[in-house]
Chains A and B, each alone.
Chain A
Amino acid sequence: MARLTLERVSFWYPATERPALRDASLAVAPGEVVALVGNVGAGASTLLLVAADLAPRVVGGMIKGTVDFRGRGNGEGGRGIVLPTPWTQLSGMAFTVRDEVAFGPANLGWPRERIAGAVDRALDALGIGALAARDPATLSGGELQRVVIAGIVAMEPALVLLDEPTAELDPEGAGLVWRLVRALAGDGCSVVVATSDLNALPEVAHRIVWMEDGAVRRIGDPALLAENALCEAGLATTVADVWRTARLGAPYPLTVAQAEERWRQ
């Protein structure tokens, strides 16, 4: 049974004539990592807002089609979204990173020990234990992005929606986020992530959703990221793209490791 199902969903932002999402269908199973890839304006961010029940409920606009989420409303067992603008997601109620990450779980009414455990695990997963006592207002952009992700996963949601979660992260931070995504899925959580970090996806995503002009164009396994059509759209992995530009034969390798193996043959 799918945890999230979108059936022929179209969405219009307020006062716009063209839908930002057009007739999109997608089902995400428990424990599955689904990556949305597309160029600017493809509709990936909008799909996440719809899946999070923020559009149209919070942002306004008009929706057609059905969105079905099998889980609780918010937080524990519910759905959590990390926006591409992490600084807009701080509670503004906390003077330390630890309290900021604890803000969500505390609002779920958990016992103190459970909150502490969840916060510790989240800080550890994002590699920000050393920042626990810092004032969130003094953090760098990348540090803030990690804190916001920690605050969402600390609530133990059943569906995590991530919009460009590694955009401002250094390689270590990006690596931790992708490892966390796999770990969440391993625990049965569903993850939908919109990202331009295409090179990370072969090792992270179970399925790739190629979006274009508001519509779902193709859905496939990560090998999709090495197809000619994706290369032409600028959505292939760097290795696939280089292989194709060099006019070496298809199927193109996705990753450095695959390229190395192919090269030795």
Chain B
Amino acid sequence: MAAVSAELRFGQVSFSYGTVPALRDVSFALAPGERAALLGRNGAGKSTLLRLVTGLLHPAAGKVSVGDWDTRGRAPESLARRVGSVFQHADQQLFARSLRDDVAFGPRALGLAAAEVARRVDGALAALELSAHAAEHPYDLPPAFRKLAALAGAFALEPAVLVLDEPTAGLDRPLRARVARALSERAAAGVVVLVATHDLAFAAEVLERGLVLDRGRLAWDAPLAALLTSSERLTPLGLAPPVGAALSAALDLPGRPVRERDVAHTLARVAAARGRV
């Protein structure tokens, strides 16, 4: 699923929009197959960080690298061989006459042979259960489906690194589950997955590591579960525990599960032990 695997590395990266600083001295590395959540308040620098990965922006200081490639001096279209991205308003970024053509745009631009393009497009559409809509015009579909199509377009690049900005905003639960499944498959195949999101319930389901930005600085870099079970850690960072975690804390469930399914199982077990089913 990834043509090559590569590490994503930020080394002491800073960036400003004119005089407004957006990122300060950010360092971290994500290994192939790692699944990380990029969290923080509105305006903390999440989208800026993702744009630095895609080469749409370049650091004012420090270095961003994807495997042995320094993003500096590489245009986004060159980086697209290794980085697939979906932006916040992805439903607006489709332009072809059919979903299939839209998803095929990236692999075609990479200069791949027609058979390879077709293989990748079929795989990407299938991964998000969009095959039945392949021939439809993107703007005949609801925005949520266009968002999935933009994600399929990123999958079709078979990148080493996937960066996604709020991939679940505007999606209902069945569509969120599709995205969760597809991202887990990609990570299992060695793709670095980095997701900026406010949807901590989704993050808890799919992602393992938590990177939290606070006013442009990396304030937290550790396993997500350790963060999501601690209101003391979340609150100063402008975050709130997902409802599953809040419920298991309120009911004092053993092991403090965070994922909704785990909360339900623990709840059932404890209730049975208390003899109240």
Mark A residues whose CB is within 8 Å of B.
Answer: 16, 38-41, 84-85, 87, 134, 138-143, 146, 164, 167-174, 196, 199, 234-235, 237-239, 241-243, 245-248, 256-257, 259-260, 263
Chain A nearest CB: distance from B85 CB in Å? 15
B20, B88, B243: which contacts A141 (Cβ < 8 A)?
A: B88
Residues of B within 8 A of A238 (CB): 201, 242-244, 247, 260
B92, B143, B174, B250: which contacts A260 (Cβ < 8 A)?
A: B250
Contact A170–B41 (Cβ < 8 Å): yes
B17, B140, B145, B263: which contacts A138 (Cβ < 8 A)?
A: B17
B254: interface (CB < 8 Å): no
Contact B263–A196 (Cβ < 8 Å): no
Contacts A238-B243, A238-B244; A171 near B198 (Cβ below 8 A): yes
Chain A residue at smallest Cβ distance from B41: A170
Contact A241–B89 (Cβ < 8 Å): no
Residues of B within 8 A of A143 (CB): 42-43
CB<8 Å pairs between A and B, sample of 16: A141-B165, A142-B42, A168-B88, A168-B166, A170-B198, A173-B42, A234-B174, A238-B242, A238-B244, A238-B260, A242-B244, A242-B260, A242-B263, A246-B268, A256-B246, A256-B247
Contact A40–B243 (Cβ < 8 Å): no
Contacts A40-B171, A256-B250; A241 near B260 (Cβ below 8 A): yes
> Closest 7 A-B residue pairs measured CB to CB?
A142-B42, A234-B173, A245-B264, A171-B240, A238-B243, A246-B268, A246-B267
Residues of B249-268 whose CB lies within 8 A of A = 250-251, 260-261, 263-265, 267-268
Contact A170–B42 (Cβ < 8 Å): yes
| Number of chain B residues whose Cβ lies closer than 8 Å to a Cβ of chain A | 48
Contact A164–B170 (Cβ < 8 Å): yes
Residues of A within 8 A of B89 (CB): 85, 87, 141
Residues of B137-159 whose CB lies within 8 A of A = 140, 142-145
Chain A nearest CB: distance from B72 CB in Å? 23
Chain B residue at smallest Cβ distance from A265: B276
Contact B239–A40 (Cβ < 8 Å): no
Per the bound structure, the CA–CA distance linking A140 and B88 in Å amounts to: 10
Residues of A within 8 A of B169 (CB): 164, 167-168
